[in-house]
C-alpha cells in the first residue's frame, strides 16, 4: 500500500498510477484502454472546448472492515451519466462499460485505496466529452469517456463538523428548464463566481435558490440539501437540481430509521423551522450546516455548533453501509474483486 498520511488527505487531485479511456468513433464505442498518462490530446475544434459538451460523475470506492473493496451504487452514476449525455446530446456510455471502467480503475490503483477507518476513500471521476470537431453549433460525432481516481479526504475542511453557507440571489446556477438536472460542466462554470465569492466571505459555498423566483431552496453548492423537523426528512423538489445519489440513499435510510420523507419545494423562510439542516453528496457525504446567511438582507439562520442527532445517525448509517459495518440491505454496494 502507498505510504500516504491518509488522515490528512484533503479533497483534491492526487496522481495515481492508471486511468482508463474509451473512444466513440464511427457510431460505436471502442475497447477500454489503460493509460498511465495524465494528459489527453484532442482536436482544437472539439466541441468540449467551445460548446460545452462535457459531463462527469463522482463516486467513491471504500476498503471495508473485512478488507473487501466496495463501490457505492455505481449503476446509479452510470444511469445519471447517460441522462447527462442525453441532456447535451453526447454519445451514451452503456451502463456495463461505465461500471467496468470504474472497476478497472479501482483495481489498477489498488495501492491508493485508503485503509478502513482512515476516513479517506478512493474518489472516481468518470468524464465524458465531445472530442469531434465542429464549428457550427452541433453535437460532435466523436467522444471520449474516461475514468481517473484519486484518494481523497473530506470535501469541507471541517470534516463532519458544521459548516456555513451563504444565500446569494444575484447569481443563478441553473435555469428552471435548463441543464441543472444534468451533471454537465456548464453548471459548474456558472457556479464559480458566486461560489468563490462565498468562500472569500468566509462560507463553505452558496445555497442556490430556484432561479425563477428566488423563493425556494435548490442546492447547497455541489451538494443537495435536506432539513429535519418533526421526525421528517425534507428535501427540495425542483427541476433544476442534480438528482443526488447520496440524497436518494439518505431518503431510504431515513425511511428505514422510521422518519417520514418529503420531497417538495422548501421556501427559504422555512429554514427557521428546521431542527437540523445539512448538505449531502458523494464528496460532501453529510455535511451539517450551522449557519445560513442571506447575503442581500443579512437575515441569518442558525443551528447548533455540533451536528444534530438525526444528521449524525444518517451519516453513520451511510458510512457504515459503505464500509461494511452495517448490513447493506438494499444491495447498494458493488464489490471489486
What residues make contact with ligand PLP under the rule CB under 6 A? Answer: 58, 219, 222-224, 242, 244-247, 281-282
Of 196-204, 255-263, 266-274, 276-284, the segment contacting ligand COI by CB under 6 A is: 276-284
Residue 146 neighbours by CB under 8 Å, 6+ apart = 19, 20, 21, 22, 40, 101, 126, 127
Among 162, 178, 281, 307, binds ligand COI (CB under 6 A): 281
Indicate the residue among 184 and 336 with the shorter CB distance to ligand COI.
Answer: 184
CB-nearer residue toward ligand COI: 140 or 318: 318
Nearer to ligand PLP, 282 or 322 (CB): 282
Provide the H-helix boundaries in the chain.
47-50, 74-87, 95-108, 185-189, 192-200, 245-256, 309-322
**Minimum distance from residue 136 beta carbon to ligand PLP (Å):** 30
Residue 130 interacts, among ligand COI, ligand PLP, none and using kind-specific CB cut-offs from 5 to 8 Å, with: none
Question: What is the C-alpha to C-alpha distance for residues 112 and 1, in angstroms, rounded to an integer?
Answer: 7
Site size toward ligand COI (CB under 6 A) is 5
Whether 147 and 275 have beta carbons less than 8 Å apart is answered as no
Interacting residues of 96 by C-beta distance below 8 A, sequence separation 6+: none
290 binds, among ligand PLP, ligand COI, none (CB under 5 to 8 A by kind): none
Is 71 or 268 the residue whose CB approaches ligand COI more closely? 71
Cα separation, 109 vs 266, in Å, equals 42
| Interacting partner of 121 out of ligand COI, ligand PLP, none (Cβ under 5 to 8 A depending on kind) | none
Which of 198, 191, 297, 278 minimizes the C-alpha distance to 234? 278
Give the one entry of ligand PLP, ligand COI, none that residue 245 binds, where binding means its C-beta sits below a cut-off of 5 to 8 angstroms depending on kind. Answer: ligand PLP
Decide: is 222 part of the binding site for ligand COI (CB under 6 A).
Answer: yes
Rule CB under 6 A: is residue 102 a binding residue for ligand COI? no
Give CA–CA dist 121/295, Å, rounded.
34
Q: Which residues pair with 279 in a beta bridge?
A: 225, 287
- By a kind-dependent CB cut-off of 5 to 8 A, residue 154 interacts, out of ligand PLP, ligand COI, none, with none
In 10 A of CB 268, how many CB atoms?
20
Task: List the grid coordinates of 28.
Answer: 460505436
Does residue 283 interact with ligand COI by CB under 6 A? yes
Q: Which residue has the cell 423537523?
A: 229
218: CB partners within 8 A, 6+ apart: 173, 174, 180, 207, 208, 209, 210, 211, 225, 236, 238, 240, 241
**Interacting partner of 278 out of ligand PLP, ligand COI, none (Cβ under 5 to 8 A depending on kind):** none
Does 74 engage in binding with ligand COI (CB under 6 A)?
no
Distance in Å, CB of 283 to ligand COI, minimum: 3
Of 190 and 268, the one with the shorter C-beta distance to ligand COI is 190
Question: Stretches 97-105, 201-209, 266-274, 279-287: which one binds ligand COI (CB under 6 A)?
Answer: 279-287
Burial of 277 (0-12, 13-18, 19+ CB in 10 A): buried
Q: Does 286 bind ligand COI (CB under 6 A)?
A: no
Residues 4 to 63: which contact ligand COI by CB under 6 A? Answer: 58
Q: Which residues bind ligand COI (CB under 6 A)?
A: 58, 222, 281-283
Amino acid at each position: 500500500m502507498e505510504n500516504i498520511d491518509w488522515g490528512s488527505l484533503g479533497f483534491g487531485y492526487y496522481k495515481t498510477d492508471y486511468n482508463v479511456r474509451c473512444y466513440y468513433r464511427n457510431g460505436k464505442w471502442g475497447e477500454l484502454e489503460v493509460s498511465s498518462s495524465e494528459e489527453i490530446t484532442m482536436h482544437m475544434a472539439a466541441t468540449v472546448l467551445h460548446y460545452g459538451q462535457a459531463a462527469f460523475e463522482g463516486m467513491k470506492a471504500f476498503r471495508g472492515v473485512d478488507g473487501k473493496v466496495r463501490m457505492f451504487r455505481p449503476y446509479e452514476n452510470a444511469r445519471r451519466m447517460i441522462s447527462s449525455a442525453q441532456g447535451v446530446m453526447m454519445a451514451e456510455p452503456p451502463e456495463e462499460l461505465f461500471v467496468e471502467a470504474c472497476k478497472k480503475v479501482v483495481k489498477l490503483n489498488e495501492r491508493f485505496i485508503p485503509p478502513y477507518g482512515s476516513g479517506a476513500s478512493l474518489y472516481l471521476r468518470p468524464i465524458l466529452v465531445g472530442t469531434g470537431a465542429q464549428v457550427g453549433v452541433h453535437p460532435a460525432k466523436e467522444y471520449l469517456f474516461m475514468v481517473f481516481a484519486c484518494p481523497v479526504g473530506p470535501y469541507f475542511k471541517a470534516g463532519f463538523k458544521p459548516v456555513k453557507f451563504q444565500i446569494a440571489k444575484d447569481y443563478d446556477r441553473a435555469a428552471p428548464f435548463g441543464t441543472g438536472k444534468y451533471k454537465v460542466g456548464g453548471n459548474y462554470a456558472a457556479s464559480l463566481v458566486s461560489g468563490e465569492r462565498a468562500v472569500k466571505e468566509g462560507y463553505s459555498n452558496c445555497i442556490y435558490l430556484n432561479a425563477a423566483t428566488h423563493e425556494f431552496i435548490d442546492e447547497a453548492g455541489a451538494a443537495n440539501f435536506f432539513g429535519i423537523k418533526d421526525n421528517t426528512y425534507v428535501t427540495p423538489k425542483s427541476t433544476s437540481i442534480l438528482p443526488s445519489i447520496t440524497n436518494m440513499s439518505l431518503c431510504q435510510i431515513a425511511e428505514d430509521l422510521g422518519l417520514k420523507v418529503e420531497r417538495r419545494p422548501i421556501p427559504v423562510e422555512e429554514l427557521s423551522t428546521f431542527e437540523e439542516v445539512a448538505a449531502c453528496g458523494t464528496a460532501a457525504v453529510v455535511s451539517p450546516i450551522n449557519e445560513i446567511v442571506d447575503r442581500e438582507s443579512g437575515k441569518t439562520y442558525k443551528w447548533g455548533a455540533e451536528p444534530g442527532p438525526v444528521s449524525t445517525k444518517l451519516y453513520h448509517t451511510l458510512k457504515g453501509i459503505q464500509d461494511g459495518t452495517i448490513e447493506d440491505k438494499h444491495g447498494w454496494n458493488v464489490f471489486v474483486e
